[in-house]
Amino acid sequence: MFDLIVKGGTLPDGRKTDIGIQGDRITAIGPIDAEARQIIDATGDLISPPFVDPHFHMDATLSYGTPRINASGTLLEGIGLWGELKEVMTHEEVVERALAYCDWAASMGILAIRSHVDTCHDSLLGVQALLEVRQKVAPYIELQLVAFPQDGLYRSPGALDNTIRALDMGVDVVGGIPHFERTMEDGRASVRELCEIAAQRSLMVDMHCDETDDPLSRHIETLAFETQRLGLGGRVAGSHLTSMHSMDNYYVSKLLPLIAEAGVAAIPNPLINIVLQGRHDTFPKRRGMTRVKEMLAMGITVGFGQDCVLDPWYSLGTADMLDVAFMGLHVDQMTSPEEMRKCFDMVTVDNARIMGLQDYGLHVGAKASLVVLDAGNPIEAVRLRPSRLAVIANGKLISTAPRGNSQLSLPGRPPGIRRRHSAHS
């Protein structure tokens, strides 16, 4: 007797199977002929492990327009605007916005999120609010928090002490923003000090790193070096890495092997990088996406993050990791069948590996968390970004949605239309 059986779905690797769930665990995969309290018919639909967002800012989300919009569209004005918002936001309001966003995320099948949280303000209001949210959403979303000195570890008075206080309060990961420190040397020193703090506390590291068009912003080199020096391999990620787009090719040929050897993962954020970067250019205009295919070819783990939804840096956003994969695919020209398929993995299994998620995936013994999509396979899912027909979190059905079919009224044409197609099956 199962609590829940998902019947007849197609796994990302193409296998058609039933999935049996007892309690919060997957306990059977294969043909199941047994009773269950609840059965979901997924015949012909894609069953995916949950979407994972390894880069987000939940303290800022859904604040678009407060107290004003970002007129220039640049990263720097966004940081300034966020500074204004920090002075007027309240604990209750941050919790409310974050929970509303988590509703969106859960409905779209995002069941794990790594969110940076600003640690510069002495009140640590955002940290307290997101610690509360982490606990509230724990039954359905695994929320990992990164202590993020947004205004600079050294540039912002008190940021170092406040970042350490945030870690003492239970924030999970050490963050940083070396390219926003006043000098290159301060940037390098901040990477060194933050990695040492992570090593002392046995924590992971995820730094905003080189989110700039300046080809000489090379803090990823220091991050990789410190990762090796301190034995942090496999626990460190560099987010954005947009300067790599503009770097000298010879230098990159030396840099990538260092990142690979150090075991540092990369988290580009295609929706945001395409919007924020290149704002100082005329034409040709750089688009700021880091070198995804080149890093993948070196064996570096690369995941795609969402970064922002309706906040000082981004005026759109849907909480859909398939939108992120879709944009990443386009900007990095990942158009071969293998590359398109990889984009799906990057917002699911690869992101889970970067976050160090335990018991993630579709196998016996894993957490019973999965998404049923109105698509036949992963490439079709990226193409259509279709309805999440069912979202199951830790064994519980938490969201359902109808299929996205249209009803046509056209002379000589059938009334129904389905956009699914067997091209990539």
Residues found near Fe ion in the complex (CB under 5 A): 307
Supply the residues annotated as catalytic: 211
Nearer to Fe ion, 142 or 307 (CB): 307
Residue with structure tokens 């990088």? 273
The set of residues, in sequence order, having a beta carbon less than 8 Å from that of 159 and lying 6+ positions away, is 119, 120, 149, 151, 152, 153
Cβ(313)–Cβ(240) below 8 Å: no
Measured over the CA atoms of residue 179, residue 180, residue 182 and residue 186, the dihedral's sign is negative
What is the rounded distance in angstroms from the CA atom of residue 70 to the CA atom of residue 312? 6
- For 186: left if phi > 0, alpha if psi spans -120 to 50, otherwise beta; the answer is alpha
Nearer to Fe ion, 237 or 322 (CB): 237
Question: CA 33, 36, 38, 39: dihedral to nearest 10 degrees?
Answer: 0
Residue 146 C-beta: closest distance to Fe ion, Å: 9
Residue 208 C-beta: closest distance to Fe ion, Å: 5
- Return the structure tokens found at 53: 């967002």
Other CB atoms within 10 A of residue 180 CB: 22
Nearer to Fe ion, 307 or 374 (CB): 307
Nearest partner of 399 among 108, 90, 158, judged by Cα: 108
Question: Judging by DSSP bridges, how do beta strands 110-118 and 406-407 pair with one another?
Answer: unpaired
Per-residue CA distances from 115 to 102, 131, 236, 300, 385 (Å): 11, 11, 15, 22, 23
Nearer to Fe ion, 313 or 344 (CB): 313
Cβ(346)–Cβ(304) below 8 Å: yes
Residue 239 C-beta: closest distance to Fe ion, Å: 6
Nearer to Fe ion, 115 or 227 (CB): 115
Per-residue CA distances from 285 to 213, 276, 279, 328, 333 (Å): 11, 12, 8, 18, 17
Q: Give the residue closest to Fe ion by C-beta.
A: 307
Residue 272 C-beta: closest distance to Fe ion, Å: 7
Residue 369 C-beta: closest distance to Fe ion, Å: 25
Residue 57 C-beta: closest distance to Fe ion, Å: 6
Beta strands in 278-380 (DSSP E): 370-373
Nearer to Fe ion, 221 or 307 (CB): 307
